[in-house]
Structure 1
Amino acid sequence: MITALQPGATNPMVDRAQFYTSPLNAQVLGDAVGRRIGIYDTTLRDGEQSVGVVFDPEDKVRIAHALDRLGVPRIEASFPRVSPRDEEAIRLLVQEDLDAQLWGFGRAVPADIELLAGLGLPATIIEAPVSHTKLAAYGVEPEKMLERIRTAVQAGVESGMRVCFFGVDGSRAHMDHLRASYEAALEGGAEEIAVVDTIGVLAPEAVRHLVGSVRGWVGPDIPIHWHGHNDFGLATAGAVAAVDGGANWIQATINGIGERAGNANIAEIALAFEGLYEHQTGLRLDRLRETSQLVAELAGHGYEPWKSVVGDNLFIRESGAVAMQFHEPEAVEPYAADLVGAERKIVLGKKSGAVSLDIKAEELGLDLDGLDQMALLQEVKRLSEDHRRTITDAEFVELVKRAQNG
C-alpha cells in the first residue's frame, strides 16, 4: 500500500528549487502536504478506449517499458476479454522484466475471472455497475448485482490475485447501494476499492465528499483508488480533491487519452502533486515528455502545443517583453524546463522585440554590430505575418546576410 509520508517529505528525484511557485500555497495548505500518492496507469486499457486508438501487443510492451522508466508503480496491462490481441499483450508483458506491478481488468462475470486467473497476473480490477441508471440499462436488480460482486471478487481472490473492486458510475449511485456494493466486495475478499466517476460529472468538492464518505465506510486501512474523467475539464482538479478526501491511488493515463473527453492526465496530476502540494508520486518528471511523445505517436493523436507539462510551446518564447526576462526563468515560467526534460529557446516572429534578435543572434553566432536592428526587426515581423508563423533560424540567417550586404 502507498503510505503517508511525514509532512514536508518530497520525491528525492525532484529538485524543489526548480519549482517557481508561490509561498501562498504553503500558507494556505498548512499540513495538508507531503503525502505519498500512487499513480496507477490505465493507458493500455482505458486509454485505448479513445475512439480510433489501437495499440498492438508490441506497442503495449513499448509503452509499458516507458511507463516503467517513468517510475509508474502499477500498470493496467489490458482487458483480455476485449480481443485475443489484448490477451496476447498481457502474456507478453508478464514475461518482461518490469519493476512496475501489472494489473488486469475484468468484469464481475465468471468467464472474465477465469481468463484473468490463467494469465499469471498478480492483481486485477474487477468492475461492476453500481448506479441504478446502469443497472436498469443492463436489466439487473441491485440485490442480484451485489451477489455477483461478492462471488466474482471471491473467485479472483481464490485464484491468487489481489483484487480491487471498481464500482462503475459510482458518482451517480445511490449512496446506500454504493456502500452495500463496496461491503459486498470486501466480504468477497477485495483488498482495495476504486471510487469511479465514469462520465466525469462530479465537481471537485463533490469528489472530496464522495471519497471522504467512502473512506469513512471502509476505514483507514483499505487503499482507495480514484478514477475520474475529463468531460468538464476538471479531471486534474478531481484527482487533487480525491487525495484531499483520502484516496491513496489515482488512476490516470498518459496524455489523458481515454473514453470521450479522456481521463486524468498523468503528467498534469504528477506535476500538480509534486509542485503545488509537495506530495510524493515517485515519478521521474524529466521523463514525462518522452513518455507523452511515445504514446502520442503510437495512438496517432497529438496534443495542443500549449498543453501543460508536455506541450511544445511551454518553454519557447516569442514575445519581446518576455524575451527581456529570458535569462531569469523564474520570472516567466512556473517551473524549470529541466524538471520535465524540456529545452528553453527563443523564436522570432510578429511579437518579437529587439532583445529577441540579440538572444537569437548570440545563439546562432551571428554578428549584428553595425546593422539597423530596428529595420531587421521589421523584416522579421513582416516575414512572420506574411507566412502566419514564426520564422526559422535559416530564414533569420538569410535576413541578416541581406542586411549585411546592404
Structure 2
Amino acid sequence: METQNGFWTSDLNRRPEVRKDFVSRQAVKFYDTTLRDGEQSVGVVLTPGQKLEIARALDGLGVGRIEAGFPRVSADDAEAFRLISAAGLRAEVWGFGRAVKADIDELLRLGSRSAMIETPTSAIKLKAYGLTADEAKRRAAEAIAYARERGVKVAFFTVDGTRTELETLRDFYRNALDAGAEELVVVDTIGACGPEAVEFLVRQVREWVGPQVPLHFHGHNDFGMATACAVAAVRAGAEWIQGTINGMGERAGNGDLGEIGMALEGLYGVPVALNLKKIRTVSALVRQAAGHPLEPWKPVVGENLFMRESGAVASQFHIPEAIEPFSADLVGASRKIVLGKKSGIDSIAIKAKELGIALTAEQQQTVLAAVKRLGVEKRGLLTDAEFRSIVERVDNPIS
C-alpha cells in the first residue's frame, strides 16, 4: 500500500509498466462551467443571486476560471454575469458565446475581457446547423477577430470536436489561431471518446499547434468515462480541465471537477489547483441550488463515503486506511458509525462510547439484537435518539 499525503492507494499505480508518463507534472488548472453547461441540466434554473453565491464558493475552492454564463440567453443570465464580474473574485471570469457578432456584443456590453467562442465542427453537427465547414470557419474567424480587436482574450471551443475528421479539426484550429484565438479546447461534446482516444487527440492537437498554445479538455460522462478521459487529457498535455461541480450538465453530465482533482492527486501524483477540503461544501451548495439530490455513494462528495453501518467494517473503523482509499480530512468530511440492520457488536460499542453510554458485554448483545430488529422494521438507519431509547429499555426492562 502506498501512503502519501492522506492517500492510501495501491502500489500498483506506481509501477512503470502501469503509470505512463505525463507531459507535465505542473499543477492542473480548472475552468468551471457549472453556471453555464451545468445549468443546462434538465429542469435546473439558477437565479442570478444563486449564481453569484456559487461563483464565490468556486473562487474559494481555487477554481482558476469561472464561466459566468452565456449572457445572450436571457436577461437573468446577463444579470448573473454582471454580478459575478463585479464581485472582485480572484478567479478569472469568462463569458461564453457562439461565433455570432451579437453574442460577442453582449459580452462586450457587460465588460467581458475573456470569452469562450464556439462553433460546430463535425459533419453531423454542421448538418444539424445547416452550415458548411467553410462557412463555420469563416464565422469563427470573424467572431474571434472581432473580439480580439476589442481587447477580449479568446479560447476557441470546437463543438463535437471528437467526432470531427482529423484534417477538418486541424483546419478549424489553425483558422482560429490565425484569427487571433490564444487558447484551444478539445471538446468531447457527447462523451463519445474513451480515454485512449482523448489522449491521442490531445497529443495530436499539441503536435499541430506547438507547445505554446494552452490546451483545454471539455468532456461529458455519457459512458461514465469523463474522469478517466480528463486524466488522459492531462497525461497528453492539457493544462486546463473544464467541468462542473457534481458533474451536473446535459444528459449524463460533464466531467466532475472534484472527482478529477482527487484522481489526479491520489492515483497519479499530479498536483491540482484546487482546495479539495472545500469540495463537499461547494457540492452541497450547488446541489441545494439546483434542487437535484446526489447518490449517497457518489465519489468524493457522497454522504456514505465515510459512514459505516456494516459490523464487519465497523470492527476496522479505528484504522481508516484499512477501509478507505483516502483520508476524510482531505475533503473536509467527518467519519461516523451509523446503526441499522447490518450493524455488529463493534458498531454498538463505538456508538455507545461516542454518546457517553456504558454498556456491559451482555447489554451490548441485547442492544444489538434490538437495533437490528428496528433497522429491518424501518428499512433504514436508526437515529441516536432511537438508540438511546433502546438502551433505556435494556437498562430498565418492563417487569
Question: 2:6 aligns to what?
Answer: 18
Residue-by-residue CA offset, 1:16-53 (whole Å, 9 max, x unaligned)? 43111122222232653733211100000000000111
> Structure 1: how far apart are the matches of 2:4 and 2:105?
47
2:250 aligns with one of 254, 259, 262: 259
1:370 Cα offset (Å): 6.3
Q: d(CA) in 1 for partners of 2:284 and 2:238?
A: 29
The TM-score normalised by the length of structure 2 is: 0.96
Equivalent residues in 2 for 1:300-315, closer than 5 Å: 300-315=291-306
1:11 is matched with none
CA drift at 1:141: 1.4
Counterpart of 1:392 in structure 2 is 383
Q: For residue 363 of structure 1, what is the aligned residue in structure 2?
A: 354
In 1, are the aligned partners of 2:8 and 2:324 still within 8 Å (CA)? yes
Q: Which residue of 1 aligns with 2:209?
A: 218
Structure 2: gaps spanning 5 or more residues: none
Residue identity matched to 1:19: F
Mapping for residues 240-251 of structure 1, pairs under 5 Å: 240-251=231-242
Partner residue, 2:392: 401
Offset at residue 248 of structure 1 (A):
1.0
Amino acid at match of 1:46: D
**RMSD in angstroms over aligned alpha carbons?**
1.3
State the shift of 1:118 in Å: 2.1
Aligned mates of 1:117, 1:373 — CA distance in 2: 69
SS at match of 2:96: strand
Distance 1:34 1:160 in 2: 32
Give the aligned partner of residue 136 of structure 2. 145
Distance 1:185 1:119 in 2: 24
Contact kept, 8 Å, 1:57 with 1:88, in 2: the verdict is yes
- Partners of 1:242 and 1:376 in 2: how far apart? 53
Q: Aligned equivalents of 1:50 and 1:79: distance in 2?
A: 15
**What is the CA deviation profile of residues 91-123 of structure 1, one whole-angstrom value per residue up to 9, with x for unaligned ones?**
111111100000000000111111112221221
C-alpha distance in structure 1 between counterparts of 2:154 and 2:175, whole Å:
13
Secondary structure, aligned partner of 1:368? coil
Aligned residues: 392
Q: What secondary structure sits across from 1:81 in the alignment? A: helix
Q: Given that residues 349 and 364 in structure 2 are in contact (C-alpha distance below 8 angstroms), is that contact kept between their aligned partners in structure 1?
A: no
Distance 1:181 1:19 in 2: 42
Q: Which residue of 2 aligns with 1:29?
A: 19
- Contact preservation (8 Å) 1:371, 1:404: no
- The percentage of aligned residue pairs carrying the same residue is 56
Matched, 1:127 2:91: no
Give the distance between the partners of 1:283 and 1:354, measured in 2 at CA.
Answer: 40
Could you tell me which runs of 5 or more consecutive residues in structure 1 were left unpaired when the two chains were aligned.
1-14
Give the residue type in structure 2 aligned to 1:25: N
Counterpart for residue 185 of structure 1: 176
Q: Deviations over 1:218-266 (max 9, x none)?
A: 1111011101101111110110111112211110000101111110001
Superposed displacement of residue 392, structure 1: 1.1
Distance 2:74 2:328 in 1: 41
Write the mapping of 1:72-83 to structure 2, written as runs, cut at 5 A: 72-83=63-74
CA offsets per residue over residues 337-377 of structure 1, 9 Å max, x none?
A: 11101100101111111111110000001110264322221
